[in-house]
Amino acid sequence: MPLLLTADPGLEDVVLAELADRGLAGEARPYGYAGLVRTEGDAAGLLDLRSVHHLIRERAHLTLPGRGLGDAVAALSGVAFPELAGGASFAVRVHRRGEHGFKSPDLERALGAVLVERYRAPVDLEAPDLPIRVDLFDRRALVGIQLTRAPLSRRYPKVYAPPAALKTTVAYGLLRLAGVGGRGRLLDPFTGSGTVAIEAAQAFPGVAVVALDIRPRVVAGAQANAAAAGGAGAGRFLRADARRLVGVLPPGFDWIVANPPFGRRLGRDLDLRALYARFLDQAALLLRPGGRLVFLAKRRGMAARLVAERPALRLRHRRVVELGGLYVGLFVVERRISPS
């Protein structure tokens, strides 16, 4: 049966690239569903993927007759789970997108009751032998067996976890899109919880990483996370202002990977624009010719204009990724070899 990999919507191609590294092929957005990649193979060999949250063994794909609870139960009751006949425990987990006449727990209880009656199988909500996963996309449903207990993206305990901390999968995607690899110098100028720096150190150990934040407590928190992730190999953590780095850091960085603030705490848009403008000026001076900057920006139009206004920078690629319900711009920018 096919294997489904859950990913961050907008970064499915990063999953395909990571599979290709292992000689495997995949299909992005099967059935048109964002945030999924389908592949074939042994799940045990994919448990160290860095671009993926969960692995699911696909069992069925079907269309519901309507949006009500009875419609969903009627359709899903036709999916067989012969493993339960042998006394295995189970739990049903429902993930919904779209409008329905019920909530996820309603369907979990209703479908669970059907399976208990049919197979006389026990329910175990904490550690089931068979975690049954149902993903609803409006009137369509994907049913499978979730093979991962905890997300693969939860790689290490976070001692310091500020609100809206970057996911490890997103950090890995940014690093891949920047072309990080081999040996070189990487700057993480808005380190936050340290995710980019830690991910770079773990995935690309030949890269020298410098991670910065203007707030001392954030720098300390990122260092604590790096220690929890397995040591001090995540690079240097410094207190510095991303708007004033020339003279603080030597130029010639191969990559800059940044997750700047989205503006929720900065107040007026003018402040946000000034932050991005000054940061881009610094990036243009710190990158080596041909070096790459990858960054996220909620104000996509503003960010694109600011890049276009800087002759030393060239926009190579942009896309939209979904991060916790926010649709954020991802920009891949190159330092021109010679300004044009």
What pLDDT does residue 231 have?
67
Nearest to 134 by CA among 72, 184, 186, 196: 72
Asked whether residue 182 falls in the same domain as residue 233, the answer is: yes
Task: Answer yes or no: is 152 within a domain.
Answer: no
Under a CB-based contact definition with an 8 Å cutoff, are residues 240 and 277 in contact? no
Asked whether residue 271 falls in the same domain as residue 218, the answer is: yes
Half-sphere exposure of 20 (CA within 13 A, CB side): 8
Gap between the Cα atoms of 243 and 45, Å rounded: 43
Asked whether residue 199 falls in the same domain as residue 261, the answer is: yes
Asked whether residue 126 falls in the same domain as residue 183, the answer is: no
Task: Answer yes or no: is 155 within a domain.
Answer: no
CATH number assigned to the domain comprising residue 111: 3.30.2130.30
Asked whether residue 124 falls in the same domain as residue 256, the answer is: no
Asked whether residue 113 falls in the same domain as residue 204, the answer is: no
Tell me the residue type at 279: F
Asked whether residue 18 falls in the same domain as residue 73, the answer is: yes
Asked whether residue 28 falls in the same domain as residue 105, the answer is: yes
SS3 content of the chain, % helix, strand, coil (to 5): 30, 30, 40
What pLDDT does residue 123 have?
97
What pLDDT does residue 164 have?
79
Asked whether residue 94 falls in the same domain as residue 227, the answer is: no
CATH number assigned to the domain comprising residue 246: 3.40.50.150
Q: How many domains does the chain have?
A: 2
**Which spans in 211-339 are helix H?**
216-228, 269-286, 300-308
Nearest to 249 by CA among 261, 236, 234: 236
What pLDDT does residue 91 have?
98
What pLDDT does residue 41 have?
85
Gap between the Cα atoms of 272 and 277, Å rounded: 9
Q: Taking the complete model, does pTM exceed 0.85, yes or no?
A: yes
Asked whether residue 140 falls in the same domain as residue 260, the answer is: no
What pLDDT does residue 235 have?
82
Q: What burial class does residue 21 get, using C-beta atoms within 10 Å of its C-beta: 0-12 exposed, 13-18 middle, 19+ buried?
A: exposed
Range of the domain at 68: 3-146
Asked whether residue 111 falls in the same domain as residue 225, the answer is: no
What pLDDT does residue 263 have?
66
What pLDDT does residue 163 have?
81
DSSP 36-50: EEEE-S-GGGGTT-S
Nearest to 18 by CA among 227, 203, 289, 274: 203
Gap between the Cα atoms of 97 and 31, Å rounded: 14
What pLDDT does residue 199 have?
96
Last residue of a domain, one of 146, 176, 193: 146
Gap between the Cα atoms of 60 and 288, Å rounded: 50
Full pLDDT tens readout for the chain, 340 residues: 899 999 999 999 999 999 999 999 999 999 999 999 999 989 999 999 999 999 999 999 999 999 999 999 999 999 999 999 998 999 999 999 989 999 999 999 999 999 999 999 999 999 999 999 999 999 999 999 999 999 999 999 999 988 878 999 999 999 999 999 999 999 999 999 999 999 999 999 999 999 999 999 999 999 999 999 986 566 899 999 999 999 999 999 999 999 999 865 545 555 889 999 999 999 999 999 999 999 999 999 999 999 999 999 999 999 999 998 899 999 999 999 876 5
